[in-house]
Amino acid sequence: MANIVPVSASGHAGKAWRHPTGFAFAAAQAVVPLVGAEFGRAALSMPIAFVEQAGLYLPVGVMSPVSGRNFFVGPAGQWLGTYVPAALRSYPFRLGRVEGGEEVALCIDEDSGLVVEADGVAEAFFDADGTRSATSQGMLDFLLAMEHSRTITELAVTAAAEAGLIEPWPIQVKIDGDMTPVKGLFRINEAALNALDDAAFLKLRKTGALPLAYLQLLSIGQMSVFERLAATQKQLGQAHQQLQRISSLDELFANAKNETLRFN
């Protein structure tokens, strides 16, 4: 369970944070939120879809055809794709609202295991004079840019939905020789997009919805990535198990090196 708290001089002076060494924290995420600024690169690496939440359609990168698993994260936490969504690159940080106001604040997951006492190696939250460190400020700037894109994306996707362009996406993906149904995802209706009259097309162009719609359609071709990732995961899993066995043997012999072997 995440414990999200605002980063403050009072609460984090003398503390620092470490960069994640991998993406094990996302190993169970079947979808990851995306913003429009990411669509261009994400569409070449993963399927993009929409999920319905509180009456809105939110764009996501599809990480897996089954819930509770992320095919893009290997058994040792390594990333197996070519593009890492911003929501994962910013971990363990996120934006939050200051209690009792509308101001946004840089927040961090205190239970991530990445918040430590300042040791001169980890990234300090604040400089000696109490100002936010360059790395903390850079993370805040990054998250604010993503939030700005998210707001624009929300308006564009809403316009696409109002134009009748978003429909349920019935999918079956071949994994380990079996066809796996994927539920709860939505896509752009290409036929409806092509049938738009000039006025509706112009309205969508002004909202920025058209590039997102075309990129989502382009990303559909990435559904085949899961079959390849499943094979890669299987190979890496076998190699990971072999390494664990070797480590166990090394530990066994290390513990026994001072013992006398007896054969009688």
Residue 23 maps to a domain = yes
Instruction: Determine, yes or no, domain membership for 264.
Output: no
Domain count, the chain: 1
Which of 155, 142, 204 minimizes the C-alpha distance to 36? 155
Instruction: Confirm whether 46 is domain-assigned.
Output: yes
> Which segment of 88-92, 134-138, 176-180 scores lowest on mean pLDDT?
176-180
- Give the helix, strand, coil percentages of the chain, each rounded to 5: 45, 20, 35
In a domain, 171, yes or no: yes
Q: Does 263 reside within a domain? A: no
Phi and psi torsions of 132, nearest 5°: -65, 135
Does residue 206 form part of some domain? yes
Q: Render pLDDT for 27-71 as a digit per residue (tens, 0 to 9).
A: 999 999 999 999 999 999 999 999 999 989 999 999 998 889 999
Q: How far, in Å, CA of 63 to CA of 93, rounded?
A: 21
The mean pLDDT of 233-243, rounded to a whole number, is 74
**Residue 167: domain span:** 4-256
What phi, psi does 80 have (nearest 5°)? Answer: -105, 0
Region 151-156: mean pLDDT is: 97
- As a whole number, the mean pLDDT across the chain is 89
- pTM given for the model: 0.86
Asked whether residue 174 is assigned to any structural domain, the reply reads yes
Residue matched to tokens 């001169």:
120
Q: Is residue 169 part of a domain?
A: yes
